[in-house]
Amino acid sequence: MRGIHLLDYYVEKLGAETGAYGDWEVPYRFSGAVEEHVEVRERVAFFDVTHMGRLLVRGEDAFDFLQYVYTKDLTGVKQGHMSGPTLSLNDWARVKDDEMLYKLGDHEWLIVVNALAFNKMLEFFKRVREDKGFKVEITDLTNEHTMLAIQGPESTRVMELLGASWAGSLKPLEFKTNETLAGGEVFLVSRSGWTGEDGYEVWAKPGVALRIVEALVKAGVKPAGLIARDTLRIEAGFVLGGNEYGEDPARFPCAVGLRYGMGAITWGKKGFIGEEALRACRREGPRWVRYGLKFSKEAGRIVPRHGDTVFIEDVQVGWVTSGMYSPILKRAIAQAYIDTRYAVVGEEVEVSVKGKRFEAKIVDFPFVTRK
């Protein structure tokens, strides 16, 4: 198992409780997952997301290669801007991974890949390159930089404390390279994150990243772990591989039913992997679509789990993909796939959690909106 660069610091100095996430050992929690979750929603906290895979795609065919492997049209993406999330599909229009792209130049892009899919995606990209003859180099940058995510409504103020007086002028999904934070040069700073809040992500050499973390702690910014990051993304309506999507057609609906939004699929674009099956699914109409479930407060502090069954009367109409007790809404919430015949926002359903049924309503995303 691989430890992220600053793991010893987090354990010895900040009291992190760690655990496995794929091939990585990462901080699960520091002060407590609920406290960390609330800190991000109401103030600001920082995450270490070094476990995320990072690739550099460079060469004369870089743009054509990316157009082929992703569902989103990259035409018109400006240098210094991110594009995504976008989806990489298999031939059955099931999602291999949802990823973010960064345009460094006309022939040079960065990709952030989800940790659990990294090895699979790296092999997939190399296979596509060889099979189709794309003239690109694919370089793994994951171990070169620590990746920090400073998230929450006070994140711009914190970035300014670190010396980034320009941070507030960055637009969402815009990035800068080779800037200075906490007295050290960082490779990249983007206005992005995966919590549903305003925030910034920083790529820096481990020594510089440690200096940034120490400055954050000194400024009173609390660390947050992977558990809080997961509950924050559920509230925001964001997806996770293996829960909301996957490649197996027997377990996961086609990408249309994911209702990803955010322009992840450009329907006017042609010639990408999985397009034929995706359009067929769209024409036929998906059988299952992803919606939110908001439980009644009477249900108490239950935690719906992946695979819990959704009912209308005695008819099984869906299943839970991810769930949590929301400390912001003070009730249980879940993401679920619902049979399209019953997928009506406001419809009352029952969800079987540990063998007992609880009332909930079908809602759209997000559960929580930014302040």
pLDDT at 338: 98
Helix residue spans in the chain (DSSP H):
7-14, 33-42, 62-69, 118-132, 155-161, 206-218, 226-236, 275-284
Residue range 54-79, pLDDT digits in tens: 999 999 999 999 999 999 999 999 99
Segments making up each domain of the chain, as ranges: 2-50+145-234, 51-140+253-284, 287-364
Q: Give the separation between CA 320 and CA 307, rounded to whole angstroms.
A: 5
pLDDT of 234 over the 80 cut: yes
| 371 pLDDT above the threshold of 80 | no
**What confidence category does residue 150 fall into, taking pLDDT thresholds of 50, 70 and 90?**
very high
pLDDT of residue 262: 87
- Alpha carbons 245 and 96: distance in angstroms, whole number: 8
User: Coil, strand, or helix at residue 352?
Assistant: strand
The predicted structure's pLDDT at residue 370: 85
Regarding the domain delimited by 51-140+253-284, which CATH topology (the fold level of the hierarchy) does it fall under? Alpha-Beta Plaits (3.30.70)
Rounded to whole angstroms, the Cα distance separating 354 from 47 reads: 32
**Model confidence at 190: pLDDT above 90:** yes
pLDDT digits (tens, 9 = 90+) for 77-116: 999 999 999 999 999 999 999 999 999 999 999 999 999 9
pTM: 0.96
Superfamily of 2-50+145-234 according to CATH: Probable tRNA modification gtpase trme; domain 1 (3.30.1360.120)
Q: In this predicted structure, what is the pLDDT of residue 213?
A: 98
> Contact 277/91 with Cβ under 8 angstroms?
yes
The CATH number given to 287-364 is 2.40.30.110
Q: Measuring CA to CA, which residue among 247, 260, 292, 323 is closest to residue 90?
A: 247
pLDDT of residue 1: 85
- Report the alpha-carbon distance of residue 109 to residue 2 in Å, rounded: 26
Q: Convert the pLDDT of each residue in 16-29 to its tens digit.
A: 999 999 999 999 99
Q: What percent of the chain has pLDDT over 70?
A: 100
